[in-house]
Amino acid sequence: MEILRSVVIFVHLIGFAVTFGALVSQAVSREFRFTRVMEWGVVISFVTGLALAAPWPEGIELNYPKIIIKLVILLVLGGVLGMGNARQRRTGEPVPRGLFWVACALPLIAAGLAVIW
Ligand code: HEM
């Protein structure tokens, strides 16, 4: 069970890497577009996060305030990506720069919270 939990945490980290990596790649190429890859990353983080939020194996203690804040951050990120994507499709333009940087900051804050708190 403990190994399984470690595997789910590993996949949870991959979700962060996929989301943040896709954002960094857009920033470095100066395209500033939201992509499907970012959405996949959010879905991976969400599904694995929910699985980890259940108290298994028996006896494990979880920091629920931290988990709830990360859940809220992830939901806001999903909203930001959805809004940006809709706008991108409508106008054909990259997302507004402010929105793009907010999307970068949110997973970073969540990752910082996860490891520092
Ligand atoms: C972008 C969003 C997220 C990021 C960057 C993130 C990041 C991380 C990281 C780096 C870890 C490993 C460090 C640790 O064990 O404390 C972790 C663990 C964990 N995350 Fe997330 N997370 C995110 C979203 C979520 C969500 C939405 C949930 C739940 C709904 C969640 C629940 C958990 C749980 C339960 C653990 C394991 C904690 C433990 O076993 O002690 N995470 N997360």
pLDDT number for residue 61:
95
Centroid of ligand 1 to alpha carbon of 105 (angstroms): 16
Task: Confirm or reject: Cβ of 44 under 6 Å from ligand 1.
Answer: no
CB of 54 within 6 A of ligand 1: the answer is: no
Read out DSSP for the chain? -HHHHHHHHHHHHHHHHHHHHHHHHHHHTT-----HHHHHHHHHHHHHHHHHHS--STT----HHHHHHHHHHHHHHHHHHHHHHHHHHHH-SPPPHHHHHHHHHHHHHHHHHHHH-
Q: Which two tokens stand for residue 42?
A: 């959010």
* Domain interval for residue 38: 2-116
Domain count, the chain: 1
pLDDT in tens, 7-62: 999 999 999 999 999 999 999 999 999 999 999 999 999 999 999 999 999 999 99
Distance 112 CA to ligand 1 centre (A): 10
pTM of structure: 0.95
The pLDDT, as a whole number, for residue 40 is 98
Residues 6, 57: contact at Cβ < 8 Å? Answer: no
